[in-house]
């Protein structure tokens, strides 16, 4: 990078807010995915005006900008794929306004998801989207990826809880879309921007909806001796139109990995467990819980435990939310998928994943948002072994192809990023992709923002494009 650009950035932000030494940049070449890309400079703006000045500079010098929150994303969305400026929002982390009566909060993008809830729970409110990384991930990242989480089954994803944004578009203009109120005239730009993976605009302020905390919560752990029984339970809960707040599944392999680390009390000899939570009015959840118990019994649950208190509930959720960390202890690397299928197809899909695993010689773990049909198969592999890496990628590709073949999606909540961009043609025609390119062109005509994401490069389809790398090294093999 031209040192003049770095000097100018230092003039805008001060030296302490610009990183350009190679050892500093290395810290920002990863996110939660298996991708790697090193930025040329990392900046930490504090205000919208600073963001505007950086965008003007980037425009003038044709330098790409990639936004980044906490770097917990799972699809390479916050990696500077084509170098340039990585704009990190950790210093734009103020809660600007809490409007409790109208159940709104206005926050800067660097505010941590959980901190919104912490700031308003005294008033009986919370921010509903709860990605597993919610203790560290930021609202800006949640907006970019349209983050989900276990409780989106009942409460919806990030886009259902964001009603307004302040953004800086590539021309450097500051634009407000939506607001605290509903039904802003014109096109739903807020709905479009949430989930646009930082490719359309830089979000500098977010207005979120706050949800009233449920009166009562009941958490059940159903234990099974067969994976089929667990998936059939989920399918029937859906078929009976019971919507729990969350319905998570963990297979035996995964829960043993989790139990060894978290000690949540998952039975080590089971084939699968369902973690099901109902919340709402106490009169409603009693009936719901009884119905769910009934379904679990019909499908041969060995045991259904009900969390006795908040502490036991916390522990069960800790096991679920730290699962990927636990799996990380078992293998040099792992590859998490994010496919979605209709809930009726859960039993056959889990069987199919097992078949694919056997074919490629992997034991594939499954821990996922079963109630949404949002799968997270985990393939453990050693990235130093190229053959193994290639098998892992091939297995992942087959799983994705299966999801699409039953009418599903290649990503339920992690985003396309650069991990799945080459899979987009599995789901979308060239005309569909062209419409998306036109949306990008309307906002980001020169590709200044987060280039190299979402859209496939090649004509070939269905290939997962990931570069293996040696552990402890940033050099792709």
Site for other proteins in 412-431 (CB under 8 A): 412-416, 420, 424, 427-429, 431
Residue 373 near other proteins by CB under 8 A:
yes
Contact 236, 299 (CB under 8 A): yes
Site residues for other proteins, window 142-171 (CB under 8 A)?
Answer: 145-146, 148, 152, 156-157, 159-160, 169
Site residues for other proteins, window 56-95 (CB under 8 A)?
Answer: none
Cα separation, 301 vs 287, whole angstroms: 19
Residue 334 near other proteins by CB under 8 A:
no
Site track for other proteins across 187-226, x = CB under 8 A: xxx-xx-xxx---x-----------x-xx-----------
Residue 477 near other proteins by CB under 8 A:
no
**Measuring CA to CA, which residue among 142, 134, 197, 194 is closest to residue 164?**
194
* Count of CA atoms in the C-beta half-sphere (13 A) of 367: 25
Residue 176 near other proteins by CB under 8 A:
yes
Taking the least distance from each CB to other proteins, the nearer of 351 and 441 is 441
H or E element in which residue 189 lies: helix 189-193
Give the range of 61-69, 131-139, 185-193, 376-384 binding other proteins by CB under 8 A.
185-193
Q: Is the torsion defined by CA of 92, 94, 99, 104 positive or negative?
A: positive
Residue 454 near other proteins by CB under 8 A:
yes
Residue 239 near other proteins by CB under 8 A:
yes
Instruction: Give the number of residues in contact with other proteins, rule: CB under 8 A.
Output: 88
**Chain centroid, CA 83 distance in Å:** 23
Contact 125, 213 (CB under 8 A): yes
Helix axes 48-61, 3-13, angle to 10 degrees: 160
Buried b (16+ CB within 10 A) or exposed e, 210-249: bbeebeebbbbbbbbeebbbbbbbbbbbbeeebebbbbbb
Site residues for other proteins, window 7-66 (CB under 8 A)?
Answer: none
**Measuring CA to CA, which residue among 116, 171, 102, 178 is closest to residue 147?**
116
Taking the least distance from each CB to other proteins, the nearer of 234 and 272 is 234
Residue 102 near other proteins by CB under 8 A:
yes
Taking the least distance from each CB to other proteins, the nearer of 184 and 330 is 184
Taking the least distance from each CB to other proteins, the nearer of 267 and 342 is 342
Site residues for other proteins, window 249-308 (CB under 8 A)?
Answer: 280-281, 283-284, 287
DSSP 340: B
Residue 440 near other proteins by CB under 8 A:
yes
Taking the least distance from each CB to other proteins, the nearer of 81 and 343 is 343
């Amino acid at each position: 990078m031209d040192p003049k650009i770095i000097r100018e950035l230092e003039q805008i932000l001060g030296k302490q807010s610009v990183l350009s030494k190679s050892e500093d940049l290395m810290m920002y070449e990863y996110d939660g995915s298996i991708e790697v890309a090193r930025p040329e400079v990392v900046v930490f703006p504090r205000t919208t005006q600073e963001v505007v000045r950086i965008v003007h500079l980037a425009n003038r010098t044709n330098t790409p900008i990639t936004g980044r929150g906490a770097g917990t994303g799972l699809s390479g969305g916050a990696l500077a794929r084509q170098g340039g400026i990585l704009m990190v929002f950790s210093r734009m982390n103020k809660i600007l306004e809490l409007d409790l009566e109208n159940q709104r909060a206005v926050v800067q993008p660097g505010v941590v998801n959980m901190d919104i809830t912490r700031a308003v729970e005294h008033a009986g409110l919370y921010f509903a989207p709860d990605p597993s990384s919610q203790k560290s991930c930021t609202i800006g990242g949640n907006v970019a990826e349209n983050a989900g989480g276990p409780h989106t089954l009942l409460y919806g994803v990030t886009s259902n809880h964001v009603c307004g944004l302040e953004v800086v578009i590539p021309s450097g203009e500051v634009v407000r879309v939506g607001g605290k109120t509903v039904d802003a005239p014109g096109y739903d730009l807020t709905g479009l921007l949430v989930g646009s993976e930082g490719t359309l605009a830089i979000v500098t302020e977010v207005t979120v909806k706050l949800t009233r905390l449920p009166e009562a919560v009941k958490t059940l752990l159903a234990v099974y001796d067969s994976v089929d029984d667990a998936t059939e339970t989920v399918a029937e809960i859906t078929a009976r139109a019971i919507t729990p707040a969350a319905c998570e599944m963990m297979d035996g392999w995964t829960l043993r990995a989790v139990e060894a680390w978290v000690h949540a009390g998952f039975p080590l000899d089971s084939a699968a467990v369902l973690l099901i939570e109902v919340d709402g009015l106490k009169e409603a959840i009693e009936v719901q819980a009884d119905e769910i118990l009934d379904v679990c019994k019909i499908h041969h649950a060995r045991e259904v435990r009900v969390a006795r208190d908040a502490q036991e509930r916390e522990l069960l959720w800790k096991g679920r939310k730290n699962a990927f960390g636990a799996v990380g202890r078992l293998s040099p690397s792992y590859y998490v998928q994010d496919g979605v299928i209709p809930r009726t197809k859960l039993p056959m899909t889990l069987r199919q994943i097992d078949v694919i695993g056997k074919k490629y010689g992997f034991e594939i773990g499954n821990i996922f948002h079963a109630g949404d049909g949002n799968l997270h198969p985990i393939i453990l592999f050693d990235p130093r072994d190229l053959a193994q890496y290639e098998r892992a990628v091939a297995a992942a590709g087959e799983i994705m192809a299966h999801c699409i073949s039953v009418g599903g999606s290649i990503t339920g909540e992690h985003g396309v990023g650069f991990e799945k961009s080459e899979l987009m043609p599995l789901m979308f025609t060239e005309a569909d992709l062209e419409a998306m390119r036109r949306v990008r062109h309307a906002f980001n005509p020169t590709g200044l923002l987060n280039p190299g994401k979402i859209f496939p490069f090649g004509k070939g389809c269905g290939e997962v494009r990931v570069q293996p790398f040696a552990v402890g090294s940033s050099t792709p093999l």
